[in-house]
Amino acid sequence: MKKVLLNLVFLFALVCFAEAQEFKVADIFSDNMVLQQKINNPFWGWGKPGTKVTISTSWNPDKEYTGVVNSKGTWKIAVPTPAAGGPYEVTVTANKKKVFQNVFVGEVWLASGQSNMSMPLKGYYCQPVLGSTEAILSSAKKQIHFINIPTLAAYKPLEHFEAEWVKASPENVAECTAVGWFFADFLQRNMDVPVGIINASYGGSNIEAWMNAEACKQFDDIPVPPLSDETSPWISNVPTVLYNGMIHPLVGYGIKGIIWYQGESNIFNVPRYAPSVAAMVSKWREAWGLGEVPFYYAQIAPYDYKEWNFFTPQWPEVSAYQREAQRQCLTLIPNSAMAVLLDVGERYLIHPRRKKEVGDRLGMLALSKTYGMKGFEAESPTFSKIGG
């Protein structure tokens, strides 16, 4: 009996080793993906050390890009992308072949934050999105693709997730982030290129959960939890856990910029909010290696926080303090801009229905500041001085 048990343990170890050596491409790559145009777009994954990896594309079929799985079992290959277009195929070959179909090249943006970013076109229960029906019905005509990263908290940086890119259609677009959709639609209409949205957002999350360990360690009052294999889809307010589970698996994928809508969950510690966001953005940019990639964010909308009075005695003015903290982010974060939402809030709805205005305003910032379009005012008025 003991010998049989030992054999079973040995067999299990062999299976685990074989799985660890199995050739894989990172999960962010799938059919229907959008690749950022005109960059050296990194592809990466895992496999048996020493395995040769070859990538070919239908936009340049005579060219192959090669690499080798290193001693740690990982590989990475940069593939130059052309100007916007598609559909294309991308083929990754090692000891097996993986063909990605219906691939487009265009503009890719990461959308992140809390519930006002994760709010889908279909809305929440008894909280609709204005204009959603028209957006859903017209979605098939748009060159917009999206991927929803599963909500997952992790106590160490993860590499994998289960989700795939989809081409927007009336059958699926109701699940797309509403702000992300209207942002993408604004870009697509004005630039006439495919747009890809990576939605990595989590309702109720605070800024600390999106910061990596290095960013958190800049603050004495942000405890970094110990590393462990624990994961949960229900945790959104522990430092580092959403970075680990939802951002880290994406790091390296070619993006043009980041749009962000978050802040409601941090009204209880306003003084630290701006430096925390700045630290988060700095470490995200450092991880991606894209320099000062654009960071455009939505200022929280007006809302009656009286029902949150058990959290803070300053409920009448607390959202104003937080909006001021968000304004301060502009001075701390290079290549950033803020979409002001003072006119779209609703007193008793913390999730305002007018998400199109949010997406459009973020889109105008991108068109002006990232893509260099002129002839319009992209930014809201800002305070200058009182009196003469």
Tell me the pLDDT tens digit for each residue of 345-359.
888 788 999 999 999
Q: How far is CA 292 from CA 184, 301, 333, in A?
A: 21, 27, 9
Mean pLDDT within 200-217: 98
pLDDT at 374 over 60: yes
Express the helix, strand and coil content of the chain in percent, nearest 5 each. 30, 25, 45
Q: Cα separation of 116 and 326, whole Å?
A: 16
In this predicted model, which residue has the larger pLDDT, 307 or 213? Answer: 213
Secondary structure (3-state) at 343: coil
Counting every residue written for the chain, the total comes to 388
Gap between the terminal Cα atoms of the chain: 92
Spatial CB neighbours of 111, under 8 Å, sequence gap ≥ 6:
117, 177, 179, 180, 183, 197, 198, 199, 200, 201, 258, 259, 260, 261
Q: Give the CA dihedral 200, 202, 208, 209, nearest 10 degrees.
A: -80
Whether the per-residue pLDDT at 214 is higher than 70: the answer is yes
Residue 9 has pLDDT above 50, yes or no: no
Q: Which of 1-5, 199-203, 294-298, 367-371 has the lowest mean pLDDT?
A: 1-5
Evaluate whether 159 touches 241 at the Cβ level (below 8 Å).
no
* Nearest-angstrom CA–CA distance, 89 and 61: 10
DSSP, collapsed to helix, strand or coil, labels residue 17 as helix
Confidence of residue 317 (pLDDT cuts 50, 70, 90): confident
Indicate if the pLDDT at residue 5 is higher than 70.
no
pLDDT of res. 18: 41
Q: What is the DSSP string of 237-306?
A: SSTTHHIIIIIGGGTTS--SEEEEE--GGGTTSGGGHHHHHHHHHHHHHHHHT-SS--EEEEPPPP--GG
Q: How many CB atoms lie within 10 A of CB 387?
A: 3
* Domains, in order of start, for the chain: 20-102 (2.60.40.10), 103-370 (3.40.50.1110)
* Backbone conformation region of residue 299, classed left if phi is above 0, alpha if psi is from -120 to 50, else beta: beta
157: tokens are: 């940086």
Q: Distance between CA 150 and CA 180 in Å, rounded?
A: 16
Higher pLDDT, 35 or 301: 35
Q: Is 339 exposed, middle or buried (0-12, 13-18, 19+ CB in 10 A)?
A: buried
Let me know: does 203 contact 115? Beta carbons within 8 Å.
yes
Q: What is the pLDDT of residue 346?
A: 83
What residues are paired with 44 via a beta bridge?
Answer: 76
**Helical segments of the chain, H only:** 2-21, 115-118, 132-138, 178-191, 207-210, 213-216, 241-242, 273-288, 318-332, 355-365
pLDDT, position 308: 58
pLDDT of residue 7: 47
Count of other CB atoms within 10 angstroms of residue 63 = 11
Q: Estimate to the nearest angstrom the gap between the alpha carbon of 17 and the chain centroid.
A: 32
Average pLDDT on 192-199 reads 98
More confident of the two residues 311 and 151: 151
The tens digit of pLDDT for each residue in 58-106 reads 999 999 999 999 999 999 999 999 999 999 999 999 999 999 999 999 9
- How is residue 16 annotated by DSSP? H
Cα separation of 75 and 173, whole Å? 33
Percent of the chain with pLDDT over 90: 82
SS3 label, residue 128: coil
- By DSSP bridging, strand 40-46 and strand 24-25 are antiparallel
Among residues 104, 139, 80, the alpha carbon closest in space to that of 32 is found at 104
